[in-house]
Amino acid sequence: MKIRFTPQAQKKPDHIKGMRVPYAQGKRKVPLAARWRWYLVVLVVTSPLLYLLGKIAISYILITAPGVLSLEKISINSTATGIVEQLAAPVGAEMAEGEVIARLGNKQLEGRRLVVERELAALKKQYSCKIADQKNEQEQERLRQKEYQQELTRAEKQQRLARQMLGYQKAHLDKVIFLQSQGAATIAELRQAEAGYDAALYRADNAENAVNQKKVKIELEQKKLELMQQKKQIFPAIDKAEAELAAIGRQQQGLVQKAPYRGRVLEHIIKEGQAVSPGTPLMLIARRDNPVIVCYLKPKYAGYAKAGHYARVSFADGKNIKARVVSDARLVKRLPADLATPMGMRNLLMLVSLTPLEPLADDLRVDGLPVTVRFRRNWMTFLQDFF
């Protein structure tokens, strides 16, 4: 005989000790909205876990590296000596090539210019009569040269007419000679044609000689005018003062500093009122022509840091572009603090440079703009992570 100390499980919920108890149907039904709210609560509670699992899954497919967009930085140096009076280009301003970025002042240069101008005015006043006579003489020579040029034009016109007449008389003489040989012209007509040809030839020679004479006169007048202009050297003091004044003017033009390239001002290295000399850095600009993506890659992914590898670059606004590694990574640096996560380590990472393969919008060409670079894994690397 078996003794059972645990009650036998009830197979029928509506029977009690063999007697059937008729229960009514449940009046409360769980609505559909309540079930969806329950699913939503479960999803919210499990979302951190799902996010973590998704990140882990993506890490086995894509290699992610933080990076920044870098522009070529150029230091603009002063080309003259002076005091910085104005920085015309504020930080962040866009500059065109040749645009004024700074103006320098040089009081010594300005003082010397005023002294030379006074000396030059005094010298011109002292030699004013001689200078006036020289200018009048040169003007007269120019007028004579212009007159000779007009005479040359008339002589060339007469020469053309004389040559046309000579051609006509030659044709007429040939015709008379032919007719005389045929017995259709007399000796008198032949002699008359020869006389007309000789006269035309004489006039043509005279016209050519007149043209040559006019050309010789013009050449002589031109040489005479050149000699008169060189004769100005009789005022060496004036020449010296004018040359010095021109040199000062060129130096003052050099006090205006201009941008050699198109770019954006990143930093002012000097301030207004500071003294500078040739070679002193004025400001730092970034050229926007050839932006470069610089990313920090873990050393274990060194195989992806070789020239020719492709990657996708993601910007904060969601834009994605394709990029290619420019050259093999040769430098290791610690991850910048700006790119490190609050709980992350600033480990030593490989510095990889990439060039964009798609054009970038102007609003994305910002130096230091953070980006995310993703390399697609190959299967060999994927298997090596497991074994």
If asked whether residues 211 and 146 sit together in one domain, one would say yes
Residues 347 and 321 in one domain: yes
Residue with tokens 């104005």: 86
- Cα gap 106→88, rounded to integer Å: 17
pLDDT along the chain (387 residues), means of 10: 57 68 62 73 83 70 84 85 85 84 86 84 70 66 77 82 85 82 78 82 83 79 67 64 84 85 84 86 84 88 85 88 88 82 76 89 84 78 50
- Is residue 25 assigned to a domain? no
Which residues are paired to 100 by β-bridges?
258
Give a yes or no: residue 369 inside a domain: yes
Q: Is residue 11 part of a domain?
A: no
Nearest Cα neighbor of 93 from 288, 342, 327 is: 288
Q: Is residue 185 part of a domain?
A: yes
Residue located via tokens 């050449």: 219
Residues 6+ apart with CB under 8 A from 13: none
- Answer yes or no: is 334 within a domain: yes
Q: Distance (Å, rounded) from C-alpha 267 to C-alpha 285?
A: 7
| CA–CA dist 369, 261 (Å, integer) | 22
Task: Give the pTM.
Answer: 0.50
Residue where a domain terminates, one of 221, 246, 271: 246
**What's the distance, CA 16 to chain centroid?**
96
Residues 122, 126, 132, 137: is their CA dihedral positive or negative?
A: negative
Q: What are phi and psi of 89, to 5 degrees?
A: -110, 110
Of 246, 276, 310, the residue at which a domain comes to its end is 246
∠ CA 167-168-172, nearest 5°, is: 115
Same domain, 229 and 120: yes
Domain boundary among 184, 214, 246: 246
Domain check: are 241 and 117 in the same one?
yes
The CATH code of the domain that includes 366 is 2.40.50.100
| DSSP state, residue 8 | P
Please enumerate in sequence order all residues whose Cβ is within 8 A of that of 261, keeping only pairs 6 or more positions apart, or say none. Answer: 74, 97, 285, 287
3-state SS, one letter per residue, for 62-122: EEEEEEEEEEEEEEEECCCCEEEEEECCCCCCEECCCCEEEEEECHHHHHHHHHHHHHHHH
Nearest to 69 by CA among 275, 272, 264: 264
Is residue 75 within 8 Å of 269, Cβ to Cβ? yes
Q: Is residue 238 part of a domain?
A: yes
Task: Assess whether 98 and 116 both reside in one domain.
Answer: no
Query: Does 120 share its domain with 219?
Result: yes
Q: Are residues 281 and 302 in the same domain?
A: yes
| Same domain as 227, residue 339 | no
Question: 139 and 94 in one domain?
Answer: no
Does residue 90 sit in the same domain as residue 119?
no
Q: Are strands 263-268 and 281-297 parallel, antiparallel or unpaired?
A: antiparallel
User: Is 273 part of any domain?
Assistant: yes
Q: Report if residue 267 sits inside a domain.
A: yes
Range of the domain at 181: 108-246
Q: What domain count does the chain have?
A: 2
Return the number of other C-beta atoms located less than 10 Å from residue 329's C-beta. Answer: 20
In terms of domains, do 130 and 145 share one? yes
Both 210 and 267 in one domain: the answer is: no
